[in-house]
Amino acid sequence: MLKYLHVVIFLLLIPRFYGQFADDFTDGDFTTGNLWAGDDAKFIVNGSGELQLSAPSETSDAYLAIACPAIENAEWEFFVRMDFNPSSSNYTQIFLVSDSDDLRNDLNGYFVYIGGTTDEISLYRQTGNTRTRIIQGVAGSVNTSPVNVRIRVTRDIAGNWELFRDTSLTGVFLSEGSVFDDAHLYSSFFGVYCDYTATRSEHFYFDDFIVTGQPYTDLIAPEFVSLTVTSQNTIDLLFNEALDEISVESNAGYTVNNAVGSPISVELDPVNNALIHLTFATDFIDGAMHELVVSGIADPAGNVITPFAEEFFFYIANEPSWGDVRINEVMADESPSVGQPVTEYVELLNTTAKTFDLTGWKICNDNSCGTIQSVLLLPHSYLLVTPTGALDSFPGKPIINATSFPGLKNSADEIFLWDATETILIDNMIYSLATYQDSEKSDGGYSLELINPLLPCSGSTNWTASASVSGGTPGEQNSVYTTTPDSTPPAIESAFAESENKVRITFTELMDSVDLVNLGLTIAPLVALDSIKVEQRYSYVMDIYLSEPLVPSVIYSLELMAVEDCSGNITDLSTVFVLPSLPFEGDVVINEILFNPLTGGSDYIELLNVSDKTFDLKYWQMANYTDTISGFKLISEVPFLFSPGQYLVLTKDSLQVKQAYPAHGFGTFIYCDLPAYSNGEGSALLLDDSGGIIDRVDYLEDWHFRLLDDKKGKSLERISSSGKSNDASNWQTASETIGFGTPGLKNSQNFEANADGGFSVEPKVFSPDNDGFEDFVMLVYDLPEPGMVGSIHMYDENGRKVRTLVNNHYFDQRGELKWDGLNEDEQKCPTGRYIVVFEVYSPTGTAQNISARKVVVVASRL
């Protein structure tokens, strides 16, 4: 193209300041003189003295770069021609500033963008691979074919940029905008970049490059960025800018305390001149804090750093073994708080002189695993592991969060500590409410603390509730800490038949699987043994597999010989186990109900196993009924055997119930947050683990003894365990003499009929005063066939009817009805003899009518 005379004259007159360059390609070359480099084979200098893209006909990109440090008080001017209308697939970028000669990849700098979907000329900042537009040119300014434009960009020493264009080539430049930006202060290269499709691979032209200005004037000393320990005797130091090699390797001073001294080798990284490699003759001390003192380092401009000291901790990454790190304290039930933050936590204790990197370690239960974030656990130190939102709850404590921290169960759980690969089990503990060894503290707010952390195989006997008045000692030595040796032999905590061929034994402390699998054992009645298996090297649990099936509800005896724990304590152990049977409706009955407790008290439900079978109450539930079955409450999350004839009391406050009802059974209570039961009438349902209804009682307040003025705090007792659950005649208020409730004991109001045909009354004399002794009379019938219809009336000695108990009643074949000694006005009948008239007939005429009269006596207490 035609060259401009004033440009040539200018180039002849200006001095060659460092940082400036100009190239109009009149020499016909771009690889000598001004040395452009990059994709050389894709560019030529054409016959018009222009730098032209001359690439193969394919979709690709190409670039050339030339050394150019100008950035302060700089001006860049150049000519660009594209013989097409640019687009997002065909455009050019002129890099004014770059710290890399590879314009295709990550760099730090600024470039002019010409083209794109909006056909504009804009200025961009690039940091790594992130590009940010800082001046947006007028859209459509290069929406022509061809494009001919001169570009001028200026930057002052402060960092103020302005972008100009001359699309008419008249020498009159229009401003596209200005901006302040000092993100990048250094430049090493200037260059051109073309992005093109196959049809545009020869249609980019560049000419008349003029760059003036100076390099960045560096008056600021380098700043220290980071120290990295790369081995047991090497350190890397990183600064924020390139450094002077002589000052780094010859003049600077480096000293490490703890008798390590000065390095024997100092090297400035050949690729990253801001990075120093130090090598020492003496190894750093494992598990110790060190201090490096540095002085004398300068940048290429001669700016010398202020001497500084940097501390660093050195440790040798140790692979953990069993018991090296202990689960030392657990807050599983944080509410109600007695002083600790209302959050779950697990405290770890490093029992060794080693340092462990806990990054990625896992805290698990049978629900999920939480992953510990990056942290070092120093020798003999504590660390709290908490849910993510609890990091600020323990100010001043050593703490780290675990993502997806597993929710710990209040009543019973097992916690595992694994390494990051989940191949090394480091510790685990199992707990239940009994582990607290304090029924009040097990209700919440107190942590469980390990008593002796130096016993890696200890079990539940080595745990107890915190003795601290604040409910725990997170991050500190436990309040119950002791180093007393283990002299207690292991014991069996539970034995449970999980299937007809598998029995699980749980010990009170962790056992070595090597010893367990070689144990001698016997089972009676004799069952053939298949194998013994233990999941981990150290475990609370041993599984016994049998080669023949167990019989449900049969009690088996198990003998284990010479059982040895990790401390060398040896003992023989024995226990019993049962394979639970499947339940049927009526096998377990609701035997007593307190649905209207004393003020501040709790409801309770008493269950009675009336069968000859043993059941597992795991996942059984209590519920109520309105329009549908609802209010489901779990009885037990863990195996819980319920034996024939056994009583079980369900309540959420066993302590209050025991205090309110002195006549209660011991060892018969279990925590259960019962459904809401109405004081007037309601339904109590017992469901098995499959949701089947085992028993249901639709109670009424009217089932209570009618002469009671206040029914609050009085339980209803089932009279006959074999009687109907929804028959009012089978329920009576618990005896006043016994305290209006017998949770966990045989009911104070009980009667089992012995009908042997016909009609009878038992007892013959009764006193309806609710004292628990013959408070009612049971009218027992045994009929020839079911479905007979009839009535029962009571008459006094003068033949006056005082009560119709039932009229036109549809009778079962066998059963009983209760008379509470009250007349039709619900008043107690006077003392004396009464005649009970029983009359039934068969509606079909298939059975003989029955008419019977019995005498009973209503008595009074003397």
pLDDT at 14 over 70: no
Q: Alpha-carbon distance 149 to 92, whole Å?
A: 12
Question: Which H/E stretch holds residue 5?
Answer: helix 5-13
pLDDT bucket at 8, cuts 50 / 70 / 90: very low
Query: Nearest to residue 401, comparing CAs of 419, 423, 386, 413?
Result: 386
pLDDT at 4 over 80: no
- Per-residue model confidence as pLDDT tens digits over 443-496: 999 999 999 999 888 778 899 999 999 999 999 999 999 998 888 889 998 999
pLDDT at 7 over 80: no
**Cis amide bond preceding 525, omega within 30:** yes
Q: What is the CA radius of gyration of the chain?
A: 46
- Per-residue model confidence as pLDDT tens digits over 824-861: 988 999 999 999 999 999 888 887 888 888 899 999 87
Q: Alpha-carbon distance 447 to 450, whole Å?
A: 10
- The backbone torsions φ and ψ at residue 236, rounded to the nearest 5 degrees and listed phi first, read -110, 135
pLDDT bucket at 862, cuts 50 / 70 / 90: low
pLDDT at 757: 66
Q: Which two tokens stand for residue 3?
A: 């060259």
DSSP string, 594-655: E-SPPTT---EEEEEE-SSS-EE-TT-EEEEESSSEEEEEES-SS--EE-TT-EEEEES-HH
- Per-residue model confidence as pLDDT tens digits over 674-718: 999 999 899 999 999 999 999 999 999 999 888 888 889 999 999
Q: Strands 604-609 and 647-651, how do they pair?
A: antiparallel
pLDDT at 19: 59
More confident: 665 or 757: 665
Domains and CATH numbers, the chain: 5-214 (2.60.120.200), 224-314 (2.60.40.1220), 325-465 (2.60.40.1260), 492-578 (2.60.40.1220), 588-733 (2.60.40.1260), 758-858 (2.60.40.4070)
The DSSP 8-state label assigned to residue 298 in this structure reads B
pLDDT at 444: 95
Q: Are the C-beta atoms of 767 and 859 separated by less than 8 Å?
A: yes
- Per-residue model confidence as pLDDT tens digits over 268-321: 999 899 999 999 999 999 888 999 999 999 998 899 999 999 999 998 878 899
pLDDT at 1 over 50: no
Distances (CA, A) of 431 to 412, 522, 534, 573: 5, 28, 19, 21
- The backbone torsions φ and ψ at residue 253, rounded to the nearest 5 degrees and listed phi first, read -115, 140
Query: Nearest to residue 679, comparing CAs of 749, 598, 750?
Result: 598
Query: Nearest to residue 764, comparing CAs of 748, 749, 777, 782?
Result: 777
More confident: 347 or 19: 347
pLDDT at 535 over 90: no
Query: Helix or strand or coil: residue 538?
Result: strand
pLDDT at 9: 32
| Half-sphere exposure (Cβ direction) of 123: Cα atoms closer than 13 Å | 25
- Per-residue model confidence as pLDDT tens digits over 237-251: 999 988 999 999 998
pLDDT at 754: 66
Edge-to-edge strands, sheet with 801-810: 765-766, 850-858, 832-841, 789-796, 801-810
pLDDT at 54: 97
Residues 6+ apart with CB under 8 A from 659: none
Could you tell me what percent of the chain has a pLDDT over 70? Answer: 97
pLDDT at 380: 94
More confident: 330 or 27: 330
Query: Nearest to residue 326, comparing CAs of 376, 363, 372, 369?
Result: 363
Q: Alpha-carbon distance 222 to 205, whole Å?
A: 41
Q: Are the C-beta atoms of 743 and 664 separated by less than 8 Å?
A: yes
pTM of this prediction? Answer: 0.52
Mean pLDDT of the chain: 91
Q: Are the C-beta atoms of 572 and 592 separated by less than 8 Å?
A: no
pLDDT at 12: 35
pLDDT at 330: 98
pLDDT bucket at 755, cuts 50 / 70 / 90: low
Q: Alpha-carbon distance 340 to 367, whole Å?
A: 25
